[in-house]
Amino acid sequence: MIIFILRWVIVLILAYGAGRLITKIRMPSILGWMIVGMLLGPHAMKIMPQSVLDAGWYQTILMWMQCSFGMMLGSELIWSKLKHSGKALVITTLAQSLGTFAVVSLAFGIIFSFTKTPVYLGFVFGGIALATAPAPALSIVNEFHAKGAVTDTLLPMTILDDIVGIVVFFSVNSLVAREISGGSVPLSMILVMIFLPVLTGAAVGFPAGQLLKKSGGRTWNLTILLCGITVTTIIGWFFNTYLFPGITLNYMLMGVSFSAVFSNMVTAEQLNAVNRYFAPILAVALLIAIVDLGAPLDYHLILGSGIYTFVYIAARAFGKYFGARSGAKLTHMPDTVQKYLGLTLLPHSGVSLVFTGIICSTLAPMPELVQIVQGTIAAAAIINEFIAVIAAKKGFELAGELTE
């Protein structure tokens, strides 16, 4: 175990160095992090083999880190800010999420109707496609200190998008399971997957907020934050392990809820100080999350990618961009949000791989369908992620929100 931990730490150090190098050509650090994760992961040099990715200690660290970078999102959920743009935010989120689901489902539904493949598989691709992976965009915001209308819209939208993604995907998963008479997560469990992480984070966030309101310096604030994140993660792990072992709880959503509660209890000055103290830990959490995003990607699949992969990437990009644009225009959001928000929503692979694993378990009685889904999404995850990171950075740049 110690050897594997040392290997993992070496991978993180190399990823950090690669990130610094890639910034020399004005690209975001996360491209370097992702490339190192993929090259040193189980499908290439195997310095970080599959046994590390599956290890209990590694999964526990990931849970804690996911909860940690949820802090960045939760601190943006200030009620005084959201009440002015909440309606526009919800409408735009639904437009881009459900728009993506509709476009991808329709595209594959048409293709499958001609290839004698069950048409319901089109809805599977639509359900996988609508979710957005928050870590890449958050990393760009954090690295370049992005500020502006697009950034302010994207951060809370990431949370809402995550919730819509859970509801739609697991609804599709349940319906497909009934169609092929396989196992599935019951529809009632969707509510558990959404509300249990929120309630868990809030239950810890309230006492943390009470403590943070008391005057204290860096050590006091960091101690409260680290203890709060750790307690939240432990409670989530207990629920996931003993009460609801058949589902996967969202630890990022727990961190969002934890942070959102105490962020609305302290003053703006206190919140700025807390975020400033936590910034180095957040940077490490994002590094670990992106390396983990790259590690499972098998670059060999790029060579075998077919028409399904390119249809998936193109249809998803179309749905995200024009869905976000139409929703923002309908709600009279700023011009930069209408034009460039969709570009920042393209990162996807971490969520897509998780959803793919779940749906393939549901489709297990039909291995030919499993092969179609696995091959398409795995190849798309690699190709899309590199395009998406560059597009997301360009979106912030065109909106004039990046700080050199």
pLDDT > 90? residue 377? no
**Do 48 and 295 touch, CB atoms closer than 8 A?**
yes
Helices (H), 40-148: 50-54, 56-74, 79-114, 120-129, 134-144
Angle at CA of residue 195, ends 229 and 163, nearest 5°: 95
DSSP label of 265: T
Confidence label for 340 from pLDDT (cuts 50, 70 and 90): very high
Helices (H), 295-348: 301-304, 307-330, 335-344
Confidence label for 286 from pLDDT (cuts 50, 70 and 90): confident
Rg over CA atoms, the chain:
20
pLDDT in tens, 97-143: 999 999 999 999 999 999 888 888 999 999 999 888 777 877 888 88
* Range 74-81 average pLDDT: 76
Confidence label for 229 from pLDDT (cuts 50, 70 and 90): very high
- Structural domains in the chain plus CATH codes: 2-398 (1.20.1530.20)
Question: What is the residue-averaged pLDDT of the chain?
Answer: 84
* Euclidean distance between CA atoms 265 and 243, whole angstroms: 31
Q: What is the pLDDT of residue 77?
A: 76
Give the best-scoring range by mean pLDDT among 90-94, 318-322, 363-367. Answer: 318-322
- The residue type of 77 is L
236/213: higher pLDDT: 236
Residues in the chain: 404
DSSP, collapsed to helix, strand or coil, labels residue 247 as: coil
14/183: higher pLDDT: 14
Structure tokens at 383: 């190709």
Structure tokens at 7: 């290997």
Give the torsion sign (CA, 193, 195, 197, 198).
Answer: positive
* Euclidean distance between CA atoms 376 and 30, whole angstroms: 24
* Euclidean distance between CA atoms 337 and 12, whole angstroms: 34
The Cα diameter of the chain in Å comes to 67
Q: How far is CA 348 from the centre of its chain?
A: 7
Sorted by sequence, the CB contacts under 8 Å of residue 235 that are 6+ apart come out as: 200, 203, 204
Give the torsion sign (CA, 388, 391, 396, 397).
Answer: positive
Q: What is the pLDDT of residue 302?
A: 65
pLDDT > 80? residue 352? no
Q: Which of 78-82, 150-154, 209-213, 279-283 bottoms out in mean pLDDT, i.e. has the lowest? A: 78-82
Sorted by sequence, the CB contacts under 8 Å of residue 61 that are 6+ apart come out as: 288
**For the chain, first and last CA: distance in Å?**
41
* Euclidean distance between CA atoms 253 and 284, whole angstroms: 19
Q: What is the pLDDT of residue 85?
A: 63
Structure tokens at 156: 């809370």
Q: What is the pLDDT of residue 122?
A: 93
Structure tokens at 139: 């990393």
* Euclidean distance between CA atoms 283 and 16, whole angstroms: 10
Structure tokens at 262: 């105490």
Q: Which of 126-130, 186-190, 257-261 bottoms out in mean pLDDT, i.e. has the lowest? A: 186-190
DSSP label of 214: S
